[in-house]
Structure 1
Amino acid sequence: MKLRELAHGRTGDKGDTLNVSVICFDAKVYPHLLQYLTAERVKAHLGGIVRGQVRRYALPKISAFNFVLEHALGGGVTRSLALDAHGKSMSAALLDIDIEPPG
């Protein structure tokens, strides 16, 4: 199943670093995503775009994750030649990742 069926995303960018937050629709799904939505999986899924490290911050009290993706914006928003490779489209790309169905 696609991650978008279990969660929604928000993004923000600063320079060449991108933050992508993934927020569970239902808190019951959070432990499942904690196991399967790793920094390594995110890096593999977005590997053609993200050139640097991916760090995951787990936020259990709000059933969410924040991923920090370094060197992900082609040098930064003002330096990139891409028309829409910035934050908003990146959350949609991450939500397209395949996730094992819960329980």
Structure 2
Amino acid sequence: MKKKLYDLAHSRAGDKGNTLIVSLIPYDERDYEMLCRLVTAEKVKEHLKEIVTGEIVRYELPGISALQFVCQRALLGGVTTSLGMDTHGKSLSFALLEMEIEIENR
């Protein structure tokens, strides 16, 4: 069954220059392991290919049941150089949550 990430998790995004940092936190901690299996850096890179032009590195934070993605070259140059509407990348958390995954039957 396909589900959008926003049905399973919430997200928060921020910036460091031209780097987007976005978290993925399941509503139910029992979904953390499934998200670790299904939401890879490669799949996020494919999903955000129109936004992120650099490398994406995923960090697992099992102590707080969260994933963090560090996305290089994602903010059109960063806050001080971009003419983009969302220079901090805050709305990009929802772009991640729009990603669909094939979930296992529960």
Sort the TM-score into its range (normalised by shorter chain): over 0.9
Normalised by the size of structure 1, how large is the TM-score?
A: 0.94
How far apart are the structure 2 equivalents of 1:67 and 1:98? 17
* Structure-2 residue corresponding to 1:63: 65
Match of 2:42 among 29, 40, 47: 40
Deviation at 1:68, TM superposition (A): 0.1
Secondary structure of 2:70's partner?
A: strand
Shift of 1:60: 1.2
C-alpha contact 2:78 2:87 (8 A) present in aligned 1: no
Identical pairs, percent: 54
Partners of 2:13 and 2:20 in 1: CA distance: 7
Match of 1:8 in 2: 10
Q: Which runs of 5+ in 2 are unaligned?
A: none
Alignment of structure 1 residues 1-103 onto 2, 5 Å: 1-84=3-86, 86-103=88-105
Letter in 1 for 2:99: I
Question: Quick one: distance in 2 between partners of 1:64 and 1:87?
Answer: 19
Inter-partner Cα distance in structure 2 for 1:102 and 1:58: 20
Q: Name stretches of at least 5 consecutive residues in structure 1 with no aligned partner.
A: none
Q: Structure 1: which 4+ aligned runs deviate by more than 3 Å?
A: none
2: CA distance between counterparts of 1:12 and 1:85?
10
Equivalent AA in structure 1 for residue 38 of structure 2: Y
Cα deviation, residue 71, structure 1? 0.5
